[in-house]
Amino acid sequence: MSLRECELSRLRCATHSPHNKQHKQRSALDALPPMLNDDRVLTFGQWVALNAISKRTGRRILDSGNGPIITQLSAKRIGITVGNNRRWQEARARS
């Protein structure tokens, strides 16, 4: 993301309500590079934004045991690699 794009993103954030969930999801997606390496670890917030789901739905998916393989980043932080997310999505695809 260029410096100009960062400034525009900050300006948009300042003019939008902090409670706007769609805006928060777009911001998390804006932080991702256009081409993602399969080994890149997405934060939980980036993962839910990438899949266009709420954080609550994301937690339900992971708690159900039917979600993607998670990476434990620290005692309280989790992430999902781009490759694991892709494989999870492919496994859920219908023919």
Res. 35 pLDDT band, cuts 50 70 90: confident
pLDDT of 36 = 77
Cα–Cα distance, 20 to 71 (Å, whole number): 28
Which among 32, 39, 31, 91 has a CA at the least distance from the CA of 61?
Answer: 91
Name the least confident of 3-7, 13-17, 38-42, 77-81.
13-17
Instruction: Express each pLDDT in 38-48 by its tens digit.
Output: 899 999 999 99
47 and 79 in contact (C-beta within 8 Å)?
Answer: yes
Please give the torsion angle defined by the CA atoms of residues 91, 82, 24 and 32, in that order, rounded to the nearest 10 degrees.
-140
* Average pLDDT of the residues in 8-14: 61
Domain residue ranges in the chain: 1-31, 33-95
User: How many Cβ atoms are within 10 Å of 18's Cβ, its own excluded?
Assistant: 8
